[in-house]
């Protein structure tokens, strides 16, 4: 807060706007990610899981991390739009990628520590909601066009944030970018906290009793990998071969809701990204092998994370009059 007021006394209009808009401090993200990393390391150690990376995947992760840190540091004193764009984009992409990576890795030790499966309960709730997953899957399996469209929509989970974060960096909207990243981090944490209590094989493994005519993107990974992790038949998490193990809450649904929330605040991206993420939601039951109940839970997680991040941002806001008063006081003291 003091740093913001000092910036105002120097006439830094951009930081004045950031203080007014509730900019979440960058060091808060550093602390949150450091704690997240420590938690993941402890969980891996507790479940006796290592990390495995091929030469290619290890090199890519290392190069990506080094590039993000290097560019962020090199352009830290941004005096041109180009340098500011590089600085902010490196920061945003780096934070988002690390959240996604840590979340995916964390799901493995959490799956190893879980017990049983809740598929009967999830299936009963779906039945009460009149959602017939086998019929939905059978319809998609019978139409190649739907498979192609669904697979593309489901894989777009990293396309939308790339566009949103580029817009924020290009437009100089640091407060909005960090609000988006805070909501995404909170959603990932909440999803992982809930996951051990509701592990599931997924509807393809539990409900489909026939030959599998179409193998969706998520395949049978939950039904195959979770038991193997519990039995310690898997000794390392392969960074180049990470699989989705979280059935409920559906993180694709969580992500889609957060993406739509962010896109609706960006006029140029509003309708294209909303349409893309509605398509991703429609593809999630089959491509993600999710129950409708998973998706409802995922939407709830997204709304909770958005609300929590919004409360945090609003608490950091400083009224313009208050900023002017503090700036005047600082100048008088100087």
Answer whether residue 18 shows pLDDT above 80: no
- Residue ranges making up the domain that contains 189: 2-329
Domains of the chain: total? 1
Confidence at residue 6, expressed as pLDDT on a 0 to 100 scale: 45
pLDDT band at 298 (very low <50, low <70, confident <90, very high): very high
Confidence at residue 287, expressed as pLDDT on a 0 to 100 scale: 98
Indicate whether 334 belongs to any domain. Answer: no
Alpha carbon of 218 to those of 103, 106, 276, 281, 331: distances in Å? 17, 18, 19, 14, 59
Indicate whether 128 belongs to any domain. Answer: yes
Answer whether residue 12 shows pLDDT above 70: no
Q: What is the mean pLDDT of the chain?
A: 89
pTM of the predicted model over 0.85: yes
- The DSSP output letter for 50 is E
CA distance linking residue 169 with residue 23, whole number of Å: 14
Indicate whether 239 belongs to any domain. Answer: yes
Indicate whether 59 belongs to any domain. Answer: yes
Helix, strand, coil shares of the chain, percent, nearest 5, are 75, 0, 25
Q: For 163-167, which contacts have Cβ atoms below 8 Å and span 24 or more sequence positions?
A: 163/269, 163/273, 164/259, 164/262, 164/263, 164/266, 164/269, 164/273, 165/89, 165/92, 165/93, 165/96, 166/89, 167/266, 167/268, 167/269
CB of 174 closer than 8 Å to CB of 18: yes
Average pLDDT over residues 288-314: 97
Alpha carbon of 231 to those of 38, 111, 241, 246, 280: distances in Å? 24, 11, 20, 18, 34
107: nearest Cα among 32, 196, 236: 196
CA distance linking residue 120 with residue 243, whole number of Å: 23
pLDDT band at 278 (very low <50, low <70, confident <90, very high): very high
Residues in Cβ contact with 213 at an 8 Å cutoff, skipping those fewer than 6 apart: 141, 142
Confidence at residue 8, expressed as pLDDT on a 0 to 100 scale: 43
Average pLDDT over residues 90-118: 96
Most confident of 44-58, 239-253, 285-299: 285-299
Provide the CA 40 distance to its chain's centre, in angstroms: 16
Answer whether residue 332 shows pLDDT above 70: no
Confidence at residue 11, expressed as pLDDT on a 0 to 100 scale: 40
Range list of H helices, 143-287: 144-155, 159-171, 174-194, 203-206, 221-230, 251-263, 270-287
234-245 tens-digit pLDDT: 999 999 889 989
Answer whether residue 101 shows pLDDT above 90: yes
Residue scoring higher pLDDT (148 or 60): 148
CB of 8 closer than 8 Å to CB of 327: yes
CA distance linking residue 80 with residue 320, whole number of Å: 26
Q: What percent of the chain has pLDDT over 70?
A: 86
Indicate whether 118 belongs to any domain. Answer: yes
Confidence at residue 240, expressed as pLDDT on a 0 to 100 scale: 86
Lowest mean pLDDT among 14-28, 162-176, 217-231, 290-304: 14-28
Confidence at residue 321, expressed as pLDDT on a 0 to 100 scale: 52
């Amino acid at each position: 807060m003091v740093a913001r007021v000092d910036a105002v006394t120097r006439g830094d209009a951009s930081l004045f706007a950031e203080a007014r808009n509730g900019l979440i401090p960058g060091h808060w993200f550093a602390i949150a990610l450091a704690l997240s990393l420590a938690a993941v390391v402890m969980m891996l150690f507790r479940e006796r899981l290592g990390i495995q990376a091929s030469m290619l995947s290890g090199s890519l992760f290392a190069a990506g991390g080094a590039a993000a840190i290097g560019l962020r540091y090199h352009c830290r004193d941004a005096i041109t739009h180009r340098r500011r764009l590089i600085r902010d984009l490196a920061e945003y992409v780096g934070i988002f990628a690390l959240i996604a990576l840590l979340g995916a890795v964390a799901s493995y030790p959490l799956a190893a520590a879980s017990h049983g499966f809740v598929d009967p309960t999830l299936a009963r709730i779906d039945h009460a909601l009149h959602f017939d997953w086998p019929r939905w899957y059978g319809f998609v399996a019978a139409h190649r066009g739907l498979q192609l469209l669904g697979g593309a929509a489901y894989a777009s989970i990293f396309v939308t944030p790339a566009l949103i974060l580029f817009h924020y960096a290009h437009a100089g909207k640091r407060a909005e970018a960090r609000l988006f990243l805070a909501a995404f981090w909170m959603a990932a944490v909440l999803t992982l906290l809930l996951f051990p209590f509701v592990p599931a094989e997924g509807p393809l493994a539990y409900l489909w009793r026939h030959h599998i005519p179409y193998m969706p993107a998520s395949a049978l990974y939950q039904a195959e990998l979770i038991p193997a992790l519990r039995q310690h038949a898997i000794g390392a998490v392969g960074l180049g071969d990470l699989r989705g193990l979280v059935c409920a809450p559906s993180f694709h649904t969580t992500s889609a809701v957060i993406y739509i929330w962010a896109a609706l605040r960006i006029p140029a991206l509003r309708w294209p990204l909303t349409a893309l993420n509605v398509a991703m939601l429609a593809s999630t039951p089959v491509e993600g092998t999710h129950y409708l109940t998973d998706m409802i839970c995922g939407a709830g997680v997204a709304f909770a994370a958005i609300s929590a991040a919004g409360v945090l941002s609003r608490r950091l806001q400083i009224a313009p009059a208050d900023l002017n008063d503090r700036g005047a006081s600082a100048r008088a003291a100087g």
